[in-house]
């Protein structure tokens, strides 16, 4: 033995030097154990609970194929989002009809109780309202305040001006579909009118004083701001006290407006019942060049108008000649009620969907814990 292998204090080791490792080129692979000399790496999933003989999705003793691993990762990463996207799309398709129905119902409620659009078919209110204008009426305002002089009101003339019109259908289903058609402007009522309120219940309305002015409770009205340019307040004279619960209304284009003056021979002496008023026209929404609010003229703000009405005077005869513009007002196809319906329906549907999703998540968590 060589002394080179000795260590101080221990002497020479009892074995000879290690022989060189033989060349591996001529060796063969042992089945199931891989190539001799190759370092084995545990495959994914091979752990203490999995022995060499257990199936881990690959050939025993060999690492899993890289393509298979990438494919599995893609299924885990991309499969779930695809399924979620499909579920969301199916959920949206199921909820879309519900959204449309909710929007239509809300639009119907808004049209019936809050706001409705109307189309101006005649020149009886020029030049405050021109032919083709579209206005919105507020149906709630008179639940909070009374009708004011100078208000532009939309009213139903059935029974006061239109005695030949048949009574409306009382069937609730027929009325529902009629209102539904009104939302999109398919139908229009032939007995709806729009005029300006001149006299309230108890008011004494006369025309005209020596200066050609209209007087209410003895107070002259300055009507140049709204009466059609160049026209007088009225070419026909009248003297009337408005009965309780009724209104005296006139158009702004006095020469062609078929208003209370043309119905003085009818029951009510040309006045209309307050209960027939559907709402107050408060804004022009179309065309864009005509946008603006319909405010009460300043002449109707005179405090003397609220004085006690004078003694009732005799009514004059009805207008001798029929005037050419008793055209009823038409319901407009304004999309506002439907747009408002969708504006309310979308957040409601979103809240319902969110609540349902949270409830489903909670149920899934509870099931997982069990």
Active site residues per annotation: 124, 195
DSSP string, 192-205: EEEEEEEE-TT-EE
Backbone dihedral region for residue 45 (phi beyond 0: left; psi -120 to 50: alpha; all else: beta) = left
Helix (H, G, I), strand (E, B) or coil at 330: strand
CA distances from 317 to 212, 222, 239, 261, 363 (A): 19, 25, 10, 9, 79
Could you tell me if 136 and 281 are in contact, meaning their C-beta atoms sit under 8 angstroms apart? yes
- CB environment 56-65: b (16+ within 10 A), e (fewer): eebebeeebe
365 has which bridge partners?
Answer: none
Backbone dihedral region for residue 87 (phi beyond 0: left; psi -120 to 50: alpha; all else: beta) = alpha
């Amino acid at each position: 033995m060589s002394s080179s292998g000795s260590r101080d204090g221990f002497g020479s080791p009892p074995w000879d030097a290690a022989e060189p490792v033989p060349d591996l080129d001529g060796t063969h692979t042992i089945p199931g154990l891989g190539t001799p000399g190759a370092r084995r790496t545990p495959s994914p999933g091979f752990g203490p609970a999995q022995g060499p003989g257990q199936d881990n999705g690959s050939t025993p003793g060999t690492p899993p194929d890289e393509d298979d691993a990438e494919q599995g990762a893609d299924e885990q990463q991309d499969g779930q989002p695809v399924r979620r996207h499909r579920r969301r799309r199916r959920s949206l398709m199921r909820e879309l009809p519900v959204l449309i129905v909710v929007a239509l119902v809300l639009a119907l409620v808004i049209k019936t109780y809050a706001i409705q659009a109307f189309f101006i078919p005649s020149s009886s209110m020029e030049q405050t309202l021109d032919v083709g204008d579209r206005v919105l009426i507020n149906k709630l305002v008179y639940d909070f305040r009374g009708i004011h002089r100078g208000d532009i009101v939309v009213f139903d003339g059935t029974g006061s001006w239109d005695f030949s019109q048949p009574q409306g259908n009382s069937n609730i289903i027929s009325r529902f579909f009629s209102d539904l058609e009104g939302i999109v402007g398919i139908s229009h009522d032939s007995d709806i009118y729009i005029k300006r309120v001149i006299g309230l219940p108890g008011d004494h309305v006369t025309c005209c004083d020596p200066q050609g002015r209209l007087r209410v409770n003895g107070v002259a009205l300055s009507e140049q701001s709204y009466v059609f340019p160049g026209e007088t307040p009225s070419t026909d004279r009248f003297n009337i006290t408005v009965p309780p619960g009724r209104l005296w209304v006139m158009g702004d284009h006095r020469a062609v407006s078929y208003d209370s003056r043309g119905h003085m021979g009818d029951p009510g002496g040309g006045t209309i019942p307050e209960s027939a008023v559907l709402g107050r026209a408060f804004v022009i929404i179309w065309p864009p060049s005509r946008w603006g609010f319909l405010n009460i003229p300043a002449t109707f703000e005179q405090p003397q108008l609220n004085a006690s009405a004078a003694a009732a005077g005799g009514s004059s005869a009805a207008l001798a000649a029929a005037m050419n513009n008793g055209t009823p007002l038409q319901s407009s196809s304004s999309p506002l009620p439907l747009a408002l319906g969708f504006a309310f329906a979308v957040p409601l549907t979103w809240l319902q969907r969110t609540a349902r999703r949270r409830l489903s998540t909670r149920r899934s968590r509870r099931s997982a814990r069990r």
